[in-house]
Amino acid sequence: MTVTQKLTALRTAMKAKGWSAAIITGTDPHDSEYLPLRWETRQWISGFTGSAGTVVVLADRAGLWTDGRYFTQAEAELAGSGIELFRDGLPGTPSVTAWLSSVLPAQAVVGVDARTVTWAKMVKWREETSVAGLIIEAGPDLLDQIWTDRPDLPKAGIWDYQASVDGLVKRQDKVEAVRKALKDQGAEAHLVTALDDLAWLFNLRGNDIDYTPVFLGWGWIEPQKVILFAQEDSLEPSVRQALQMALVELRPYRDLEQDLASLAAGKNLLLSPDRTNAYLVQTLKNAGVSVVEGASPLVLMKARKTTAELGLTREAHRRDGAALAEFLTWFETAAPMGGLTETSAAAALDGFREKRGGYRGPSFTAIPGFKENGAVIHYHAHGPGAPLKGRGILLLDTGAQYTQGTTDVTRTLILGEPLADEIEDYTLVLKAHVQIQLMPFPVGTRGYMIDAFARRVLWKTGRQYNHGTGHGVGLCLSVHEGPARINAEPVPFALEPGMILSNEPGLYRPGCYGVRIENLIIVVDAGKTEFASFLGWETLTLCPYERRLINPAALEADEREWIDSYHARVLAEIGPLVSPAARAWLEGACAPL
């Protein structure tokens, strides 16, 4: 079916249901970022392959809302589809609800699959459209009626992470910590809905979703009972035995919806409205269950990495750094010879990672943008991608899942001789990147308070980038982990020791090239003064910057000092792990500026 045919079929189903509009959120019942193929609904209905966006379909028109990372990509992928692009976040772009309120009459019904919208978003939509008199209905999955070859739910294996690495807090102890936190929040039970929370709690990992080693499941915790709802075919006997020893009851994944009301009866149940789907919340409210709305204690527990977890992720980054050094050594010779494409270059890096042990695949789809493709912030190469031919900039954003941890690194490389404008742009982005590294901050600081540290370097020259400066990262889990971030949004969670975030300012010139530099960094203690206790950063990523694009004269003294110190550390830690050729390359790449 073409996109046009899919829209026509959906409109027929909408008319039969009495819906004037349908919202397709493009997520699953767990509000996941990366999805089983069954839930790739946004891509199926629209052809847009980005990882964020909302599709709205009316009887005679349709729209896709996505953010600045995907404007260029969405414009190309939606061409000829009949779906209008709404550039979310730009002045003059209406929100989904504002647009619906302006184009639909009062009492029009707007439907959404109740399992693919969080309760918080559902409530917000209803509030925003109440003045216009619209009816937002959490209903059935209409796509199931028209997606004839829709994939079934995955049933890949679940493995025991606790038995694979040393030093993790035992699953029994994590359950007890959650029980204590529930009592502090005035609740007696908690439903765990987010897949990365679930994997972290039970010290399990899975293969149900590409890039994120999680599995489909639900968790239930109360004072005398803990239940894991999972697909029974995925559980090996050893995993079953380990869970039984931890007093974890096992039930089938699909049983959660029918069991939920009886489990929750008579209890104060803690639910995260921004992580629990509307179908489950409405089921509980219809059953008269007492719901306590609040953040899951698992979110912060997972984000604050323990000493042992930080030791594991440091090892993952040493392995990744060694793979990057071998790749860059090879690339420096291979690229000028011709024959490489965006896709083959990224695949070659994965090949070097596979040799490092513990490698379990990429942590997201590689972003290897050459020349103008690098200006597409979340570019995805189709097929082989563009040939790496001639002079130009290659933005290479990749990541890996190792048993020991999750990596995410961006380096901007140059083929041929750089131009003055390219050097200027790269050096500005590097300065912005280093400003984050240099800046201590008092305990209690939020990520949005730090975001401007990077941007001010670019703002002073009239430059800007349309994405956040940093996101949280998990431990052999999601490459995008909450709750802390470094961006302009006023997220209420403070940065705390043990949190891992990215530091990735950028600069993009449509039609020309893109520049982005990314390291992963840990929040660490940075001492105490008479005024406050301070925090700072430890850098995890170990990979040299592209010195041919650096103008040392444009750097401040403390910026040069930081870069030289970082490069010396890269050489010291990675040099002993690589081949003689890569060691020689590192010595040149890490020489003082």
In this structure, are residues 371 and 386 in contact, taking their beta carbons and an 8 Å threshold?
yes
* Residue type (1 letter), 101: S
Average pLDDT over residues 546-573: 98
> Which letter does DSSP use for residue 91 in this model?
T
Chain-centre distance for alpha carbon 575: 31
Whether 232 has a pLDDT exceeding 90, the answer reads no
Q: Residue count of the chain, please give it.
A: 593
Token pair for 264? 């929750």
Give the DSSP letter string of 21-64: EEEE----TT--SS--GGG-HHHHHH----SS-EEEEESS-EEE
What CA–CA distance (Å, rounded) separates 164 from 203? 10
Q: How many CB atoms lie within 10 A of CB 580?
A: 7
What CA–CA distance (Å, rounded) separates 228 from 20? 39
Q: Is the dihedral of CA 127, 193, 29, 210 positive or negative?
A: positive
> Which letter does DSSP use for residue 434 in this model?
H
Any idea which residue has 């921004």 for tokens? 274
* 580 phi and psi angles, rounded to 5 deg: -55, -40
For residue 528, what are the β-bridge partners?
Answer: 533
Kindly state the helix (H) or strand (E) to which residue 393 belongs, with its residue range: strand 392-402
* Residue 73: predicted pLDDT: 86
Q: How many CB atoms lie within 10 A of CB 341?
A: 18
What would the pLDDT profile of 124-140 be if each residue is shown by its tens digit?
Answer: 999 999 999 999 999 99
Q: Which domains does the chain have, with CATH numbers?
A: 3-146 (3.40.350.10), 158-297 (3.40.350.10), 307-589 (3.90.230.10)
* Residue 330: predicted pLDDT: 98
The CA-atom distances, in angstroms, between 198 and each of 30, 118, 209, 352 are: 11, 17, 14, 31
DSSP tally for the chain: helices H, then strands E? 18, 26
* Residue 534: predicted pLDDT: 98
What would the pLDDT profile of 83-140 be if each residue is shown by its tens digit?
Answer: 999 999 889 999 999 999 999 999 999 999 999 999 999 999 999 999 999 999 999 9
* Residue type (1 letter), 222: E
Token pair for 83? 């779906």
What would the pLDDT profile of 294-336 be if each residue is shown by its tens digit?
Answer: 999 999 999 999 999 999 999 999 999 999 999 999 999 999 9
